[in-house]
Chain A
């Protein structure tokens, strides 16, 4: 499977990249890590006229912390996130999640910005962005926009990113002292796309969740922040509250049926994940779903 012919331009700066995107519109595709784009090109599922390679734009690299905000450059590779001390300290959910993304050779190229812009509903990082209440920074020739993660993902491989826009960075509020996080996905093999997954971030005061963001992935056409978390916050969690939350969760999803699972199975697994998340964060065996050996 060889890709169709295309032209190639290596952008030297963000301005340069935006210029190319403005001129070529939807005939151009941004080449970041290429770990999702290249398979699509090789399989001829995608045939753009121009690839705009942003890999040389230094401005898009780097992880920094200032004023309670962790800023992650779009070209930050998955492996950089895995190894980053700042992220381990200020957004440890990402550190946990990244270990589930593909394999080392993919993580050495794949980028945070690329993963969010690609918006595969089964991928980990968009759900993490939801759970962390991230803000996605997007630039065009007309200026910069700040988009809440909760608004950014609109469908399968669809985001609010316009063809002439570039995702330049992601801002994540740094973890507060009593922050907790949970990540788990059900996947057949290490590195596979999840059948269902959950990226969760919250605040635990004693045995009460005062905040809980449940970012589900592989449950529909985009990652979903479950409203059912409302049933779990504000007072100590009981089995009955958990059951109510799980029932509410069922109604929120419209999962796809595919080779891995029926819609019913996805709802079922999503409920299991909720129980696992809550029991793990609270250290409550009675709420537990037992893990494998």
Chain B
């Protein structure tokens, strides 16, 4: 057995102090120790995107990060993005367009969608598809998701004008 490592970070704006085993990955830390089960586990090898969260503003795979690596970091999960209202328009678009069915990919998908909306606000359908190509959805076949992201992009750019 190895020693516990103390870490101190911010999760969804809240200061968190914990003692963790080095091998504990961020996804399991969020889910099991902080009860933030909105971040989902689908593969544990970084391919499916279900565990996508934000660390220091960048989207990352929580299954490929150790909790100990988040010392002093700012982590945001889907719960945080929801409560702050940052993605409320995107969530509404998903709801109206039925861009989710079982909901398992949805938190990660919203993270990735918000990422392209921030970094490439003028993205077209093909670019949206490319940016989301690391997030597996088995239910929707992606068409509705692309529609919802595209609609949100248009609405945001109209608001910006």
Contact = CB atoms under 8 A, between A and B. Distances in A.
B61 interface: yes
A4 B23 contact: yes
A42 B134 contact: no
Given A4-B23, A51-B22, A53-B69, A105 B45 contact: no
Contacts of A106: 46, 61, 64, 134
A103 B130 CA distance: 9
Nearest to A190: B133
A108 interface: yes
A43 B63 CA distance: 12
Given A35-B64, A109-B60, A104 B23 contact: no
A25 interface: no
Contact of B133 (A7, A41, A109, A189): A189
Given A38-B65, A39-B64, A104-B59, A8 B5 contact: yes
B60 A191 contact: no
A3 B2 CA distance: 13
B21 interface: yes
A34 B69 contact: yes
Interface residues of A, number: 31
B131 A38 contact: no
**Interface SS, A side:** loop
B112 interface: yes
Interface string A35-49: 100110111000000
A55 interface: yes
Interface string A1-24: 111111110100000000000000
B44 interface: yes
Contacts of B61: 35, 105-106, 109
Contacts of B21: 5
A43 B134 contact: no
A248 interface: no
Contacts of B131: 104
B128 to A, nearest CB: 12
A104 B2 contact: no
Contacts of A51: 22, 66
Nearest to B64: A38
B22 A103 contact: no
A74 interface: no
B25 interface: yes
A210 B4 CA distance: 59
Contacts of A1: 44-45
A282 interface: no
B21 to A, nearest CB: 7
A108 B73 CA distance: 14
Interface string B131-151: 101100000000000000000
Contact of A108 (B1, B60, B63, B66): B60
A45 B142 CA distance: 33
Interface string B1-26: 11101000000000000000111010
B58 to A, nearest CB: 4
A7 B22 contact: yes
A79 interface: yes
A35 B133 CA distance: 17
B71 interface: yes
A102 interface: yes
Given A5-B23, A8-B22, A103-B133, A34 B2 contact: no
B89 interface: no
B105 interface: no
21 contacts: A2-B23, A2-B28, A3-B25, A4-B23, A5-B1, A5-B2, A6-B22, A7-B3, A8-B5, A8-B66, A39-B64, A42-B44, A43-B45, A51-B66, A53-B68, A53-B69, A104-B112, A104-B131, A105-B59, A106-B61, A109-B65
The 7 closest A-B pairs by CB, nearest first: A103-B134, A8-B22, A39-B45, A108-B58, A38-B64, A190-B133, A3-B23
Given A2-B28, A106-B46, A191-B133, 6 more contacts: A8-B68, A10-B71, A53-B68, A79-B58, A104-B59, A104-B112
